[in-house]
Amino acid sequence: DTASCRWRIMAPFLWELPILMVVQLLLSSRKETEERTYMADATLMVNGTQYRRPEQPTVVVCIDGGDPAYLEHGVSTGIIPNIARYMKEGFYTVAHGTLPSFTCPNNMSIVTGCPASVHGVSGNYYLDRKTNQPVVMTGPELLRVPSLMSEFSRHGARVASVTAKDKLRKQLQKGMDLGNGSVSISSQFADRCTLAENGLADALGYVGRPLPDMYSADLSLFVLDAGIKLLEERRPDILYLSLTDFIQHAFAPGHPEADQFYRDMDTRFGRLEELGAIVALTADHGMNDKANDDGSPCVVWLQDILDAAFGKGTSTVICPITDAFVGHHGALGGFVRVYCHADLTAEQVIETIRDVPGLEQVLSREEVADTYDLPFDVEGDVAVLGDARTVIGASEQDHDLSGLKGHRLRTHGSVYEADVPIVLSRPVSDLYTRRAEAGRLHSYQVFDYVLNGTVN
Ligand code: ZN
Ligand code: ZN
């Protein structure tokens, strides 16, 4: 009959069946192991540190200008209950920030887990020795190593990076894979987002807030609200939220405007936690009053001093705090670099300015790179750091201080603004507690602490 006939025809091929089955099994198990290694790839090595893949969303917030003094005041007056609880029940320490205590170098240290000597960004500006032109240091090409956001996004994690200022956004986003729902936006340009460039179109509509003013607390609160919305809807594995220091430049701890800002932030941190996130707070730098007793800014005009001593054009003072938002600090900070031209030597400069009142450290290129772990190649010939009260400017005529509008000058850049808090909403393991007790942490260890150190 036809059945036995078919059987006789097929019989010689039947021996192949188990082989086919084995091949099939191997193929499918390989696919499964691939999937499993992807999921079980519990750690990721970034710039020499092994990081645990987060089991729940992990938010790192960089409170720009978030001097520990604001937290101490907030805790003592009871206006930041969530942060106070983290400090008590989770983890709190005061860590070393990166010098110079400016925004870009510190954000890059935090997100790469490295000192500036490794990531290469040591200011907002440096002088290109070949062209003698100041170069903005916020270009992504100047970041020498990948960030955690970039590496995690390229290894299957969903990442969100939200910043106040757009200049930082491009550097933070370098190498990020925006497929897989990852997002990188700034509140400054939230009205210009595209799917291709930012991983999100219509950020204003998404967050449900109007475009915030450049100089406002809202520029920062928008960042936190975007983080909350992303957590509600996309549940990223890692969120990096970087704010702006407009409020801290203008108002000391205890001023009603500063208090309100810290209250508003605290509520939002509570919301992030409520949505299931582990929250880590740090700062890029602190903030200090830099005014004379009469309220005028306490400034050493270094370019004017050098021009008087050696003649115009023999040196260039670069204030690496300079950026597009100078209104609230007049481009004045506690750290500048001097580049010598023609025959002028670093020794001559050091000799001339070392005893100027208010200048606390006058260091050679080698000394400053060594002492503060900075990239040697972009360092000036001389680095100058102010004391706690003094800022250093270039030429008096080149700084526009009208933006201060009668406020006392509050700014940063020196060692006195390099203390930054690290606050975690969870406690850390014994090992990490011991490490923190053994020596002061650096803010570039915050991702290590929150991803590897926290326990339930
Ligand atoms: Zn800053
Ligand atoms: Zn600032």
CA of 102 to the centre of ligand 2 (A): 7
> Which residue reads 């956004």 in tokens?
169
The DSSP string of 385-426 is EE-TT-EEES-GGG---GGGTTPPPEE--SGGG-EEEEEESS
Cβ 135 vs Cβ 128: under 8 Å: yes
User: Which residues are found with C-beta within 5 Å of the ion, ligand 2?
Assistant: 245
- CA dist list (Å): 66 to 382, 408, 418: 29, 18, 11
CA of 321 to the centre of ligand 2 (A): 7
The number of angstroms, rounded, from the C-alpha of 67 to the middle of its chain's C-alpha atoms is 15
CA of 200 to the centre of ligand 2 (A): 28
CA of 153 to the centre of ligand 1 (A): 25
Distance CA 384, CA 334 (A): 8
Cβ 287 vs Cβ 67: under 8 Å: yes
pTM for the model stands at 0.90
CA of 161 to the centre of ligand 2 (A): 20
> Which residue reads 């100041």 in tokens?
134
Strand 58-62 to 278-282 pairing? parallel
Cβ 283 vs Cβ 63: under 8 Å: yes
pLDDT given at position 215? 87
Mean pLDDT of 300-312: 97
Mean pLDDT of 152-173: 94
Structure confidence at residue 167 as a pLDDT band (50, 70, 90) = confident
Angle at 211 between CA 244 and CA 274, to 5 degrees: 65
Q: Which residues contact 438 (CB under 8 A, 6 or more apart)?
A: none
* Strand-pair partners of 61: 241, 281
- pLDDT per position as a tens digit, 239-291: 999 999 999 999 999 999 999 999 999 999 999 999 999 999 999 999 999 99
Cβ 393 vs Cβ 303: under 8 Å: yes
Instruction: Determine what percent of the chain is predicted with pLDDT higher than 70.
Output: 91
Q: Is the pLDDT of residue 16 over 90?
A: no
CA of 289 to the centre of ligand 2 (A): 12
pLDDT given at position 4? 63
Cβ 145 vs Cβ 169: under 8 Å: no
Please indicate whether residue 39 or residue 149 has the higher confidence score (pLDDT).
149
Q: Compute how many other C-beta atoms are within 10 angstroms of the C-beta atom of residue 400.
A: 11
Ramachandran class of 241: left when φ > 0, alpha when ψ lies in -120 to 50, beta otherwise: beta
Counting ligands in written order, the one closest to the CA of 285 is 1
CA of 418 to the centre of ligand 1 (A): 11
